[in-house]
Amino acid sequence: MKNAVVTGGGSGIGLAVAERLRSQGYHVATIDLRPSDEPSAEAADVADRSQVDAAMTKIRETLGPITILVNAAGVDGFKRFAKLDFAEWQKVIDVNLNGVFHCTQAVLPDMVDAGWGRIVNISSSSAHSGQPYMTHYVAAKSAVNGLTKALALELGPQGITVNAVPPGFIDTPMLRNAEGLKRLGGTVDDHIERTPVRRVGRPEDIAAACSFLISEEAGYITGQILGVNGGRNT
Ligand code: NAD
């Protein structure tokens, strides 16, 4: 019951989640377009079901059945809605939403067989408030929150919990890239001023929440959206 897969484990939040779970004794594999140097790091595109299935098969051969899944792979995008072409829209939906569909379906049989499972989806605080120029991203992340709630009701009787963690501003390559491109609506320091706890989030803050939600003692928590955002729901 201790085999975990973390998508997006090559960078930022996914990398921190994988490191945290390893340090707690879980057997961890990661899936990423650009895998880390850690053991059991598989290269795959979460938006491509055949790549996901192949990666999960390899991971099962090495670790055994997968009963914990953290869906952290994601891409952002910034463009005025009127200028967004459908391919750009679809790419962001494909990775952030359809990737969750593929990875979750691919591991679900293991959890059902075990009568136990933990799924944590990394959505985004932008799903609370919206974000201009990120309609595709906000739509995908809002849908991930909805999927989380619906799937929790479906899988509860089988011993599987499904929760979402929407991060606020977390200091990762994704955030710094957006800052560099001046697409954040201010610098990271400006955002710190507007955050009640007066600091930017760390990937480890998200890893801590994931660690709790996949623990045995969190078994009565499902279908929840646990914001980790320094008190700022935007
Ligand atoms: P990041 O860019 O550092 O890491 C994202 C990882 O996902 C990268 O390693 C990338 O290679 C991988 N990835 C992207 N597309 C993929 C694909 N198609 N298949 C497999 N892997 C793919 O970003 P991060 O900040 O660590 O983001 C992690 C998650 O947290 C994302 O879902 C993101 O939307 C979400 N999030 C981040 C923030 C933030 O402030 N950093 C805020 C809200 C939500």
How confident is the model over 182-225, as pLDDT tens digits?
888 889 999 999 999 999 999 999 999 999 999 999 999 999 99
**pLDDT the model gives residue 63:** 97
State which amino acid sits at residue 159: G
pTM score over 0.85: yes
Span from the CA of 170 to the centroid of ligand 1 (angstroms) = 11
Q: What residues contact 11, with CB distance under 8 A and at least 6 apart?
A: 32, 34, 36, 172, 173, 174
Tokens coding 105 = 């379906």
Pocket of ligand 1 (CB under 6 A): 8, 10-14, 32-34, 45-47, 72-76, 95, 99, 122, 124, 167, 169-170, 172-175
Instruction: Enter the DSSP assignment of 65.
Output: -
Distance of alpha carbon 141 from alpha carbon 27, whole angstroms: 28
Architecture of the domain defined by 3-169+202-214: 3-Layer(aba) Sandwich (3.40)
C-beta of residue 161 within 8 angstroms of C-beta of residue 1: no
| Residue count of the chain | 234
Atom of ligand 1 nearest to the CA of 171: 41
Residues 102-151 have pLDDT tens digits of: 999 999 999 999 999 999 999 999 999 999 999 999 999 999 999 999 99
Digit-coded pLDDT (tens) for 158-192 = 999 999 999 999 999 999 999 998 888 889 999 99
DSSP category for residue 135? H
Q: Sort strands 68-71 and 3-7 into parallel, antiparallel or unpaired.
A: parallel
Q: What is the pLDDT of residue 1?
A: 56
